[in-house]
Chain A
Amino acid sequence: MKPVKKEKPEIHKLTVLGEEYATTFTRKYNNRKPYTPVDHKKIFSFIPGTIKNVFVVKGQDVQAGDKLLTLEAMKMDNEILTTISGKIKEVNVIPGQMVTKSELLVELF
């Protein structure tokens, strides 16, 4: 009645409060996602959809809170804003373009 066919578990080292312990890891622990800090300069699509409008061009200065794009997804127009002020380095999409999830849409310097 094991969900995973268990081979002999591998012994790993785990350090807790300065002490190192011999133990095994779970599959869930091994598959945990490494942390990646949020990069506000890169704007990714959070959902697949269609780019409806593009409000900025390469080289343009923007202020935090400015509209960059409209992404239509699930029958909703989602306004994509920038959280930081800066200059547009690249616009990778045009109106009418379909995008998948986690596609790099706009990049700031």
Chain B
Amino acid sequence: MNDIQSHDMKTLRQRTDELRQRMKGATQGGGEKAIEKQKATGKMTARERILAVLDSGSFHEYDLFVEHAGKDFDMDKKYLPGDGVVTGTGTINGYPICIYAQDFTVAGGSLGFMHAKKITKIMDHAMKLKVPLIGINDSGGARIQEGVNSLAGYGEIFYRNTLASGVIPQISVILGPCAGGAVYSPALTDFVFVVDKISKMFITGPEVIKTVLGEDISMEDLGGAQVHSEITGNAHFFAESENECFDQIKTLMSFIPWNNTKKAEAFPIKQPKNKVYKLSEIFPTDSKKPYDVRLIIKAICDNSDFFEVHEHFAANIVVGFARMNGQSVGFVANQPMVLAGVLDVDSSDKAGRFIRFCDAFNIPLITLVDLPGYLPGIDQEHAGVIRHGAKVLYAYSEATVPKITVILRKAYGGGYIAMCSAHLRADFVLAWPTAEIAVMGPEGAANIIFRNEIMNSPNPEEARQKKIEEYKEKFANPYVAAAYGYVDAVIEPLKTREFILHAIEISAQKKEDRPIKKHGIPPF
């Protein structure tokens, strides 16, 4: 008998065994039946998800033995393992991460007081440690039995989401239902990931809509992954499976820094695949012909790797991450292939938000311009294209990261100004010789400026064509703007990468001050 142990004391091994026993009980989730049900719907369990997204062996769980605080409705007789949420820390690609995952198998992942406490505790950790936060949502919503305490829990999460915004990257993954007030935590975070047929997000569910409005709609059609990826824009990344979703998260993490005081990790320099992406084959000089601007981005960026954000939403503008000489950059590009690349309500929201993310997290912005203007239409005007469009102006003007603009073809009117023009303080405005920087297109302009001449001519159609040609010759080029210094350099298209690389390199120490204020009032 060891001297330091008395007879009735358990040995260290016994204590450890006892701990393991307790852990086994606490990590069982809602039990076999509930787990089976979860799997039957194509879903992983909360812990499986965390393990799948984090680096192997890096996950460390906390608050495993937290118990719920429900007293009413016989809740005090119930044991809810971990109170329906798994929290901890780990790494992704070696980067530190704080993470939580709601466990649908435990009381439907419902959010009670202690459940929320676990989440807010890991959020507070993320803020102290200045590391990204990932929240995996799979919850039936508020735990009704805990009443107002449950609401308080949501409120505490929203408040922290807001304070953390722009300080640490926040990622929400919707892997199950996320309804009612619960949707607002994802909505406050930077990137929302959804998976086809698994994610469901809405404020008011189909049942209530049916009762109140008499309108029939399925959960999928109301707030499924496709709806939020394509129609509402609430989701930034769409995946076919949970594993694909986790791969997307890992890729995203590689492009963004831990926090707003750091830069994203640098990668080895790789040249674009110029044999695959040839400008001469991708790019039509006729400004009325469509092409896929993503191919231009791929012709410019490292290894032709472009990671698109909001791929399916407002496809008339393209935003996403790439690398230039190993350094992470954000691309914003009008997409002539879709709706002629116009700015409208949705594309303005999409661009404005992306620009602000890049600016908050020290990611230089590269803007490729080729747009005819704003989308005409009563629906657009009534949907508030004025205040939505203003977001792009606001975001670009406000941004102090290096801003490089390349005007490819059309840059007309208000669209020209909005797309990170010199006037909104682009650091470098480059233009291809195909650029047309003008107050509007040649036809529209000729019809207005020469209206009388055309009308009074013996052959108006001939006169119109002549005037259009005249205008094209004089104004549909980059040289008028260059003559005023609004374009810094008219460049050979094949030298675009080189110019951008140089611009980024010499902007490495860029520091631009803005007037001191509590905060601006962006056109929300």
Contact = CB atoms under 8 A, between A and B. Distances in A.
B521 interface: no
A1 B316 CA distance: 18
Query: Which of B230, B316, B340 has the largest count of A CB atoms less than 10 A from its CB?
Result: B340
A74 B288 CA distance: 53
B82 interface: no
A62 interface: no
Contact of A101 (B214, B229, B378, B444): B214
Contact of A24 (B231, B290, B444): B290
B323 interface: no
Interface string B311-332: 1101110000000000000000
Contacts of A48: 212-214
A19 B340 CA distance: 11
A11 to B, nearest CB: 7
A54 interface: no
Contact of B444 (A3, A17, A33): A17
B372 interface: yes
- Please classify how large the interface on chain A is, using the bins under 10, 10 to 19, 20 to 34, 35 or more: 20 to 34
Contacts of A27: 230
A20 B244 contact: no
Nearest to A20: B288
B34 to A, nearest CB: 30
B154 interface: no
A28 B380 CA distance: 12
Contact of A17 (B226, B316, B372): B372
B515 interface: no
Contact of A47 (B213, B244, B312): B213
Given A1-B239, A3-B238, A17-B372, A24 B379 contact: no
Given A11-B290, A16-B375, A27-B230, A1 B238 contact: yes
A63 to B, nearest CB: 29
B441 interface: yes
Interface in B318-350: 336-342, 346
Given A1-B311, A4-B312, 11 more contacts: A3-B229, A9-B337, A17-B441, A21-B340, A22-B290, A23-B340, A24-B339, A25-B339, A28-B230, A28-B231, A74-B212
Interface of A: 1-4, 9, 11, 14-29, 32-33, 35, 47-48, 73-74, 100-101
- In order of increasing CB-CB distance, the 9 nearest A-B pairs are A18-B444, A19-B441, A21-B340, A16-B372, A3-B226, A35-B378, A23-B340, A48-B214, A17-B444
13 contacts: A3-B226, A4-B226, A14-B342, A16-B375, A16-B376, A18-B443, A19-B444, A23-B341, A25-B339, A26-B338, A28-B346, A35-B378, A100-B214
